[in-house]
Amino acid sequence: MQIKVSDNIGFCFGVKHAVELSEEALSKKNGKIYSMGPIIHNPQVVKELSDKGLTPVEDIDGIKEGTVVVSSHGAGAKLKKKKGIKLIDATCPFVKKIQERVDRLYKDGYSVIIIGKKAHPEVKALTDFTDGRAIVVKDAGEARELELNGSKVGIVSQSTYSQDTFLEIVSILLNMPFSEIRVFNTICRDTIKRQGSVRILARDVDMMIVVGGKNSSNTRRLVEVCKDENRDVYHIENEEEIDRSWFSGKESVGIASGTSTPGWVVQDIIDQIGRYN
């Protein structure tokens, strides 16, 4: 069995940044340490940090003391420092730039459109910078239903969203009668590179395995990209989910990972597949 590994495996810069800040806070052993939601969308890493003392919480209302680490997805503009609590901002630097862009657009009187998924924590935080008034559009169908005639519109994207979907939606919005439209492609470079790499790899192998959290938006998107090019695609979180029968009659397998998947998890999977040879 030939194993081909996609480019850009392992953590992206923003995820690495968030994990390192969390590890640093834990190493100081200075009281209880919390994270605003899962620090990243990877169950192995979240468990590893949890075992060391990092406790995910949905909000800080019930916390009276300790340290709160803001996840890589960011937090809303209304998150304020609270007496007795130390805040550590582990927001991905790229996401922070999107927050600044949305904040500026809203203050300048633009109707903000965010291309992404409403339930994603990054999008929720971005929406908060518009006092909840941003319009979230997930696909072309929703874009066609918009009625903002005459408005000044500013468009951004969830950083981990599909480049193809972003361009499709923008092309629809550009044909609407807005008085002014400003478009910012805020999909992170790492996400774009990974989507391009897996598309090429999926065409060149008999099957694909995409490694990453089932709750990871960018990992699920990689799965979708692979399925556009290959019938046999499996999304797994660890080597225990591998089924040997998948490889029957196959000569090659491609391995890809989401931005929040640690390199050691990918290596464990490669090692497991290698044992079947």
Q: What is the pLDDT of residues 70-81, one digit of tens each?
A: 989 988 776 666
Judge whether 122 counts as a catalytic residue.
yes
Convert 155-182 to b/e letters by CB count within 10 Å (16 or more is b).
bbbbbbbbbebbeebbebbeeeebeebe
pTM as predicted = 0.87
Angstrom distance (rounded) from CA 227 to CA 232: 7
End-to-end CA distance of the chain: 6
* CA R_g for the chain: 20
Where are the strands (E) in the chain, listed by range?
Answer: 2-5, 33-36, 54-57, 66-70, 85-89, 111-115, 135-137, 152-157, 180-183, 207-211, 233-236, 252-257
Angstrom distance (rounded) from CA 232 to CA 94: 33
Query: How many Cβ atoms are within 10 Å of 197's Cβ, its own excluded?
Result: 19
pLDDT tens digit sequence for 197-215: 999 999 999 999 999 999 8
What is the three-class DSSP state of 202?
helix
pLDDT given for residue 272 in this prediction: 94
Which is it for the CA torsion 189, 162, 237, 58, positive or negative?
positive
Any bridge partners for residue 68, and if so which? Answer: 34, 87
Any bridge partners for residue 182, and if so which? Answer: 154
**90 near 33, Cβ under 8 Å?**
no
Mean confidence (pLDDT) of the chain: 92
Domains in the chain, CATH or no CATH each: 2-10+189-274 (3.40.1010.20), 13-91 (3.40.50.11270), 94-183 (3.40.1010.20)
Q: What crossing angle do the helices spanning 163-173 and 189-203 adopt, rounded to 10°?
A: 110
Q: What is the pLDDT along the chain (277 residues), one digit of tens a residue?
A: 899 999 889 899 999 999 999 999 999 877 899 998 889 999 999 999 999 999 998 877 778 888 999 989 988 776 666 667 888 999 999 999 999 999 999 999 999 999 999 999 999 999 999 999 999 999 999 999 998 878 899 999 999 999 999 999 999 999 999 999 999 999 999 999 999 999 999 999 999 999 999 989 899 999 999 999 999 999 999 999 999 999 999 999 999 999 999 999 999 999 999 988 7
Marked catalytic residue, from 23, 122, 168, 224: 122
Nearest Cα neighbor of 74 from 101, 59, 92 is 92
Angstrom distance (rounded) from CA 17 to CA 118: 25
